[in-house]
Amino acid sequence: MTRKIFLAILLIYTCVFGLQAQSSGYKTISKQNLADKIKGGWAGQTIGVTFGGPYEFRYNGTFIGDYQPLKWHDGYLKNTMLNNPGLYDDLYMDLTFVDVFEKYGLHAPVDSFANAYAYADYKLWHANQSGRYNILHGIKAPLSGYWKNNPHADCIDYQIESDFAGLMSPGMPNTASAISDKIGHIMNYGDGWYGGVYVGAMYTLAFVSNDIRFIVTEALKTIPQQSNFYQCIHDVIQWHKLYPNDWKQTWLEVQKKWANDIGCPDGVYVPFNIDATVNAAYIVIGLLYGKGDFTKTLEITTRCGQDADCNPSSAGGILGTVLGYNKIPAYWKMGLKEAEDIDFKYTTMSLNKVYSTGLKHALLNIQQNDGKVTGDRVTIKLQQPVPVRFEKSFDGLYPIDIIPASWNDDKTVLHFSFEGTGFVMKGTTDASGNNPAFVLNTQLYIDGNLTESPELPVNFTTRRNELCWKYDLLRGKHNVELKIINSTNEYKISPGNVIIYDNTPSEGIDANVKAAQRFLKNK
């Protein structure tokens, strides 16, 4: 046998058995490389949220034009962490859950996660705040995130804080999905939950592939195909193939087909959109059109608008995991070292601490899922993504009108009438007194029947996002009264408009135009 023939046979043998080794589902990585990728994930999301912070919900229904520079400079990151800590709600929520794992182990019960954030001091919004309110009022997970109990079930909340699930599950998307099933349903359901499942899956695959298209496509296998979330992200991937050099055209296609939010009371009939589906589309646009370039990825994701800080945070974290900490460009790490020992407000965790804690949790998770850690060698048993169960929020509901509520003469009863199958009454509680723990007690009557007795705290941290709602009424005419039992001059309700739902869409564009006109008139 000549040397050339021997080498050819050896090459064939190596290729065949190499493929077999790959298909057997294991990947070996050095502990140092694993640690670098985990650091890159946490640093990338911190950089991304800081970069996008000034543009958060300032560009709704439009993108940020190329002529507008997006600022970044040395010291900006540290200054933002110290002086604008509320910006990092996606990170301090992340770290709340990491801390629970650290205290109680990888199999900590769901109540430990729910209580940790429900009783925390930080402010929350949308699905997170509705979930918190529910937990504090005895509605436990997963019912705390269920759409009939949470008008924000499809909002972005778990999507922006699911990074931890992926970063502790390298190469294991189904393990990340199981974590997200437990924690993500505290505050979300349906497409809102899928956002977190999908982002978590992209993180897991970022450990084992540097092919962005593969990551976004393979991760989508964790989402049921019949869901709106799957269909929207699948569309983005296809539009990227049609318009490979024009992210704005893909953005426009998303806007035309997917930008109508029917659930979040703050996003109905207005350009504001905090829906997980659309904002996940912006993450994918940034990743695909950024082509692995950190600067382009953050720029494009931010310029897509809407939740323009959380979306580049997710994109930056995923790409940071692909690249690893050491390969994130130095420009983006300006001032990072100075900030890495600063505890995120409301937590006892800094970036440096979560770098090490995150590695610890990932190694434990790998071992508990048939992987091995031998010295500096980490062997991961890879998982083929499988779809989680199908869920749908607001099924069969269509916003058809938006109307005001009226006070009775002594301002102790809010009332309105409508024809349809459901409603959400927006509004806030106001306090001029000195008791931040005061709670307004109310009774909700629908067609003369006591339906609920909502407690409405005046404290912003424990507030209820909306005053009251009901989605599953029989179609027809209904009369609603919200009675205040302990009304005072110091503690009041400021009612907002009422969104009306039906089980069929409104008839044509004229009805929607008229509803929008009424909304603007009553605003």
Which one has a higher pLDDT value, 487 or 269?
269
With a cut of 70, say whether residue 14 has pLDDT above it. no
The answer to whether residues 185 and 193 touch, using CB atoms and an 8 Å cutoff, is yes
Residue 130 shares a structural domain with residue 272: yes
Q: Is 428 helix (H, G, I), strand (E, B) or coil?
A: strand
Nearest to 120 by CA among 465, 429, 462: 462
For residue 179, give the CATH number of its domain.
1.10.4080.10
CA-to-CA distance for 425 and 495, rounded, in angstroms? 8
Considering only 21-30, 129-138, 176-185, which range has the smallest mean pLDDT? 21-30
With a cut of 70, say whether residue 9 has pLDDT above it. no
Q: Where a domain ends, among 381, 412, 447? A: 381
pLDDT tens-digit profile of 357-382? 999 999 999 999 999 999 999 999 99
- Residues contacting residue 512 through CB under 8 Å, at least 6 positions apart: 269, 506
- Mean pLDDT confidence for 226-255: 98
Residue 429 shares a structural domain with residue 344: no
Task: Output the pLDDT for position 12.
Answer: 38
- Mean pLDDT confidence for 243-260: 97
Rounded to a whole number of angstroms, the distance between the first and last alpha carbons of the chain is 87
Residue 247 shares a structural domain with residue 360: yes
- Mean pLDDT confidence for 298-311: 98
Task: Output the pLDDT for position 433.
Answer: 79
CA-to-CA distance for 376 and 129, rounded, in angstroms? 42
Percent of the chain with pLDDT over 90: 89
- Mean pLDDT confidence for 144-167: 98
With a cut of 90, say whether residue 329 has pLDDT above it. yes
Task: Output the pLDDT for position 23.
Answer: 36
User: What are residue 155's DSSP bridge partners?
Assistant: 275
Residue 233 shares a structural domain with residue 278: yes
Task: Output the pLDDT for position 298.
Answer: 98
Residue 95 shares a structural domain with residue 222: yes
For residue 470, give the CATH number of its domain.
2.60.120
CA-to-CA distance for 360 and 368, rounded, in angstroms? 12
pLDDT tens-digit profile of 65-114? 999 999 999 999 999 999 998 899 999 999 999 999 999 999 999 999 99
Residue 43 lies in a domain: yes
Residue 500 shares a structural domain with residue 371: no
Task: Output the pLDDT for position 516.
Answer: 61
Q: What is the mean pLDDT of the chain?
A: 93
Q: From residue 300, give the alpha-carbon distance in Å to each of 51, 68, 104, 161, 334.
A: 12, 12, 39, 21, 20
Residue 131 shares a structural domain with residue 280: yes
- Mean pLDDT confidence for 249-265: 97
Residue 135 shares a structural domain with residue 248: yes
Task: Output the pLDDT for position 512.
Answer: 57
pLDDT tens-digit profile of 469-507? 999 999 999 999 999 999 888 899 999 999 999 999 987
Task: Output the pLDDT for position 508.
Answer: 56
**Number of neighbours of residue 476 by Cβ within 10 angstroms:** 10
Sheet holding 372-374, edge to edge: 26-30, 377-381, 372-374
The stretches of 291-386 forming alpha helices (DSSP H) are 294-303, 310-323, 336-339, 351-368
Residue 13 lies in a domain: no
Task: Output the pLDDT for position 510.
Answer: 58
Percent of the chain with pLDDT over 70: 92
Task: Output the pLDDT for position 17.
Answer: 33
Tokens describing residue 295:
């600067």
Residue 16 lies in a domain: no
Residue 8 lies in a domain: no
Q: From residue 2, give the alpha-carbon distance in Å to each of 5, 8, 10, 11, 32.
A: 5, 10, 12, 14, 42
Residue 46 shares a structural domain with residue 184: yes
Nearest to 362 by CA among 512, 172, 495: 172
- Mean pLDDT confidence for 119-142: 97
Nearest to 223 by CA among 190, 246, 267: 190
With a cut of 60, say whether residue 519 has pLDDT above it. no
What is the residue range of 323's domain? 27-381
Residue 405 lies in a domain: yes
Task: Output the pLDDT for position 275.
Answer: 98
pLDDT tens-digit profile of 214-234? 999 999 999 999 999 999 999
Q: What interhelical angle do 126-136 and 110-118 show, nearest 10?
A: 110
Q: Is 481 helix (H, G, I), strand (E, B) or coil?
A: strand
